[in-house]
A and B are shown apart, each in its own frame.
Chain A
Amino acid sequence: MISDECSQTISLLLFRAGGLGYGVFSSQVNSSNLTVPDANKILIGLPWRSENDGMEKFVLNYCHFDGFTYEIPIDAVDELVETPIKSISPLPRFIENHLLDMGLWGILVRRGKIFILIDLERLACRAEK
């Protein structure tokens, strides 16, 4: 997460879900574990299918500022990266507002692959509306 205005890097957790690459601020992930997701805790509005089918999955746990811990079922963790802020590409202007509303805020290109960056806090606030 960006600690202050002078911060030059951000720490991102990169993972795969629904066939695409994603990234979240590592500070927004409290823990990860292999478990059967709790349907009542799965974060609503994720960009991939995330129903509880009774199978064990990798789950990222995000604790929202209201104290509720959301579960984010994913396919696999890729890596934890410390990346310069300047390496983050903003979304094209004319689709930015629409995607921000969905919790997507930027793109990281790493080794030729694209990772879609999600702000879990923004997504959780939207889910609570």
Chain B
Amino acid sequence: MQTEDGSGSDDFRFRSDDIIAGARRAIMERDLDETHEELLKIVIFKAGGQTYAFKGKDVTEILSGREVFPVPFLPEYIPGLINVRGDIEAAFDICSYIGGRKTDADKGLIVMVQNGIFRTGVIVDSIEDVLDVPVSTIEPPLSTLSGVLRDLVSGSVEFEWKSVAIIDVEKIAARMIR
């Protein structure tokens, strides 16, 4: 899309886009209050310039300003370890793992995720939103997904007119602990 200053940007949004999104969300939340539909908490985040989501139940906390300590012999998608109040955890670059570009561990946030005994810090660029979405609105994974990502996604959710892949931490754990 062409912006007013002439520079091209896919991220450009009109002010009315935000207002419409807010209004739609308000209607959705009002409808939910009325119908008591089962909700799923979703954490929307960006990593490597792409938007993804985690299920809220898989996210234990979000950390900022955390130093990633390099350790030899780790795979490329684990740039190092982090110290979480005395517990040493791995920093996991999800974007690199699924074949995208590396996420800058020093500039981003760490989303701590856990599933059973599997626990790790996922490096992300930013947290976009935390939403309660009706379970009925969760769509199957996009058929266009390929590679490792296809194996990690359990569904998709609409966010700002785009379909966002929900990455299932249980599926990451299954690949890591085998």
A residues with CB within 8 A of B = 18, 20, 47-48, 89-95, 98-99, 102, 104, 107, 109, 114, 116
Q: Given known contacts A92-B120, A93-B177, A94-B177, is B90 in contact with A116 (CB within 8 Å)?
A: no
Binding-face segment, B4-12, B54-62, B81-89 = B81-89
B residues with CB within 8 A of A = 69-74, 78, 81, 83, 86-90, 117-120, 173, 176-177
Would B73 and A114 count as touching, CB distance under 8 A?
Answer: no
Would B70 and A92 count as touching, CB distance under 8 A?
Answer: no
Q: Is the interface of A mostly helix, strand, loop or mixed?
A: mixed
Of the candidates A91, A95, A116, the one having the most CB atoms from chain B within 10 angstroms of its own CB is A95
**Number of A-B residue pairs at CB separation under 8 A:** 53
Would A109 and B73 count as touching, CB distance under 8 A?
Answer: no
Would A94 and B118 count as touching, CB distance under 8 A?
Answer: yes
Would A102 and B118 count as touching, CB distance under 8 A?
Answer: no
Chain A: minimal CB distance from B26 (Å): 42
Partner of A91, one of B88, B117, B119: B88
Q: Given known contacts A92-B89, A93-B177, A109-B83, is B73 in contact with A102 (CB within 8 Å)?
A: yes
List chain B residues, Cβ under 8 A from A18: 72
Would B72 and A102 count as touching, CB distance under 8 A?
Answer: yes
Partner of B81, one of A48, A93, A98, A114: A114
| Whole-angstrom CA separation of A84 from B74 in the bound complex | 27
Partner of A89, one of B87, B117, B177: B87
